[in-house]
Amino acid sequence: MDVIVLGGGLMGTASAYFLARRGARVTLIERNRIGAGATVASFGNIRRTGRHLSQLPLAHRSLKLWGEVEKMLGRDVEFRATGHIRLIFDEGSLADMRAYAQAARPWGLELEELGPREIRSRFPGLGPEAIAASFSPHDGSGNPRLIAPAFAEAARKLGVEIVEDVDVETIKHAGSGFIVTTSKGSFAAECLLNTAGAWGARVAAQFGETVPLDARGPQMGVTEPVPHRILPVVGIWTRDKDYGAYLRQVERGNIVFGGAAERVSVDLDPGHAAADPARLPLQLRAVARLLPAIAKVAVIRTWSGCEGYVRDMLPVMGRSATTPGLFHAFGFCGHGFQLGPGVGDTMAELIMTDRCETPLDDFRVDRFSRTA
Ligand SMILES: Cc1cc2nc3c(=O)[nH]c(=O)nc-3n(C[C@H](O)[C@H](O)[C@H](O)COP(=O)(O)OP(=O)(O)OC[C@H]3O[C@@H](n4cnc5c(N)ncnc54)[C@H](O)[C@@H]3O)c2cc1C
């Protein structure tokens, strides 16, 4: 089977790797550089807590693969299962957490509930005013700069042809396959996998499939390095989006943070998501509630990235509803980093076997036209 994978972010590189492992002949076409889209901008959270329940089977599949990634790819991509704590500051959020934990249990996600004393003793310095927290011990983080190049390199070793830095001129369905014409030549294959991220809805539209997707840029920041003390990824349960922040400390000592600030609209041409320094004070106020010591540390960089948010906040994954041989995996709504290895493995299974052990029905491309 020949497959063209269009888009070389985490989804495209992981798919190319797993497709090649199953024996496909793969060409991966990326118009910029591998991993330089939303993937490199990610906060790096490998979190299952709070996910839409129907996404949990895919998230579990992905977490298992994150645990194997170093051995599989022959490279440390800084996956660390340090745990994920979400602090709680009010009774309403505690009720929300408990309801979610109960609903998620049958889906295989076990959350521990921590009281204030346990938070202080196990995680000193975090949320001094927190009344409770959820803790997911097997989640953690990874390095967003390393993962897509690592998948691409491993895919290349399995024979995947990687074409970077090209203008993609036309994408056509012809006879029993697809022809993608680029500034570096034309490529043909029986199957086409659309992993074009925030641009994925444009590719789908060329095949008559309409997906309500907005391109938006969440804002991140990072501090100077300070002694390494915070082990887990830290988030919050809150209904107040002005306080919906999160942070983690990398082993080199820098504290990476995000959330709280509005995600601004991004123009897909050229697709550059700019961070806005004016949003930083609001963000830091929210982060300081989780970690008051951040007030004494200098922020050295802010950034953003162009991510596709689908109207119902679920990705598009699976077969095209209009075109045989076309598959989609795009629009990961700000939470695709955790899912990446699982998405690659799942799409490879679907394309190569025409079946899939992970339920994808909620992510169908035609769900909006079906309910219209
Ligand atoms: C700032 C930020 C923080 C985030 N933090 C987290 C987090 O902590 N945890 C989490 O789980 N998720 C997080 N996410 C979301 C996660 O990073 C994304 O969901 C994931 O990386 C999407 O991967 P992708 O491969 O679909 O998209 P991308 O990485 O954007 O890759 C798509 C690629 O397709 C290419 N492309 C587009 N059109 C074409 C075309 N016509 N031909 C060829 N190539 C094309 C683009 O150049 C791009 O490289 C975050 C996202 C952002 C922006």
The pLDDT-based confidence of 139 (bands split at 50, 70, 90) is: very high
Q: Which atom of ligand 1 is nearest to the CA of 315?
A: 19
41 Cα to the center of ligand 1, angstroms = 8
Whether residue 121 is found in the same domain as residue 16: no
- 3 state DSSP class of 132: strand
Smallest CA-to-CA distance from 141 within 235, 209, 52, 54 is with 235
149 Cα to the center of ligand 1, angstroms = 13
Whether residue 16 is found in the same domain as residue 151: yes
The mean pLDDT value of the chain amounts to: 97
pLDDT at 188: 97
Whether residue 297 is found in the same domain as residue 149: no
Look up the domain containing 125 and give its range.
84-137+219-304
Smallest CA-to-CA distance from 195 within 367, 20, 44, 27 is with 27
269 Cα to the center of ligand 1, angstroms = 15
* pTM passes above 0.85: yes
| Percentage of the chain modeled with pLDDT above 70 | 99
On whether residue 190 sits in a domain, the answer given is yes
pLDDT at 372: 47
Choose which residue among 4, 42, 184 to substitute to test ligand 1 binding: the one with the highest number of ligand atoms within 8 A of its C-beta. Answer: 42
Whether residue 208 is found in the same domain as residue 223: no
Name the domain count of the chain.
Answer: 2
Whether residue 162 is found in the same domain as residue 277: no
The CATH number for 296's domain is 3.30.9.10
Q: Residue 46 and residue 339: Cα distance in Å, rounded?
A: 8
Largest distance between two CA atoms of the chain: 66
pLDDT at 176: 85
The pLDDT-based confidence of 119 (bands split at 50, 70, 90) is: very high
On whether residue 73 sits in a domain, the answer given is no
Minimal-distance CA residue to ligand 1 atom 27: 197
pLDDT at 371 over 60: no
Q: Which of 248, 273, 304 is the last residue of a domain?
A: 304
pLDDT at 175 over 90: no
pLDDT at 143 over 90: yes
pLDDT at 12 over 90: yes
Q: Which two tokens stand for residue 103?
A: 């609903």
- 3 state DSSP class of 320: coil
The CATH number for 35's domain is 3.50.50.60
Q: Are 148 and 10 in contact (CB under 8 A)?
A: yes
Q: Which of 304, 328, 350 is the last residue of a domain?
A: 304
Smallest CA-to-CA distance from 330 within 215, 176, 169 is with 215
Q: Residue 88 and residue 95: Cα distance in Å, rounded?
A: 10
